[in-house]
Amino acid sequence: MTEEYFDVVNERDEPVGRALRADVHARGLRHRAVLIFVFNAAGRIFLQKRSLTKDVSPGLWTVSCSGHVDAGEDYDAAARRELGEELGLRQETPPERWFRVEACAETDWEFSWIYRTTADGPFILHPQEIETGQWIDRIVLERWLSLRPQEFCPGFRWIWTKAKEK
């Protein structure tokens, strides 16, 4: 596996250096990420259950697709790349930018663009990234989150509260 480098950014999301993924996370440095909500024609959301081999939140449910922005990459390119890598979803243009969140403790110091797109699948799930996935109605998701929040990534729970406001 190759080492991943991220742009380290300042409080204005401007690159100020580069560092290895492990260093960025260990030192709590600001960096960038993308999260993509995939909706189907019926308005359901595709959720993924993270692989048990993941180093962060293994086996927990989260947004349809997500990932870090690589060093030198922009947000839109990262969103397109992650859709292809994780879901096998190839799009000519980036998904729609929905909203942005600032780097903070809840995001593990990631500035994040939250995207949304529409696709009905079927998807080709990357086995090292995703254990399984499912379509879910918003009402069912709300009930699940209230009854068993521990089954979801903490970051997803926080982002979902923001997404509901949009």
Cβ neighbours of residue 159 under 8 Å, at least 6 residues apart?
35, 63, 101, 107, 112, 114
Q: Give 47-58 as a DSSP string.
A: EEEEPTT-SSST
Q: Are 37 and 112 in contact (CB under 8 A)?
A: no
d(CA 63, CA 49): 9
Q: Give 75-135 as a DSSP string.
A: HHHHHHHHIIIII----SSPPEEEEEE---GGGTSEEEEEEEEE--------TTTEEEEEE
- Residue ranges of the domains in the chain? 5-164
d(CA 69, CA 136): 27
Give the strand pairing for 15-20 and 130-136. Answer: unpaired
- 152: burial class by Cβ within 10 Å (0-12, 13-18, 19+)? buried
User: For position 21, what pLDDT does the model report?
Assistant: 93
Q: What is the pLDDT tens value at each position of the chain, 166 positions in all?
A: 568 899 999 999 999 999 999 999 999 999 999 999 999 999 999 999 999 999 889 999 999 999 999 999 999 999 999 999 999 999 999 999 999 999 999 999 999 999 999 999 899 999 999 999 999 999 999 999 999 999 999 999 999 999 998 8
User: For position 118, what pLDDT does the model report?
Assistant: 97
User: For position 69, what pLDDT does the model report?
Assistant: 98
User: For position 2, what pLDDT does the model report?
Assistant: 66
User: For position 96, what pLDDT does the model report?
Assistant: 98
- CATH class of residue range 5-164: alpha beta
Q: Provide φ and ψ at 49, rounded to 5°.
A: -100, 120
User: For position 3, what pLDDT does the model report?
Assistant: 82
Handedness of CA 138, 88, 154, 100 (dihedral sign): negative
138: left (phi over 0), alpha (psi -120 to 50) or beta: alpha
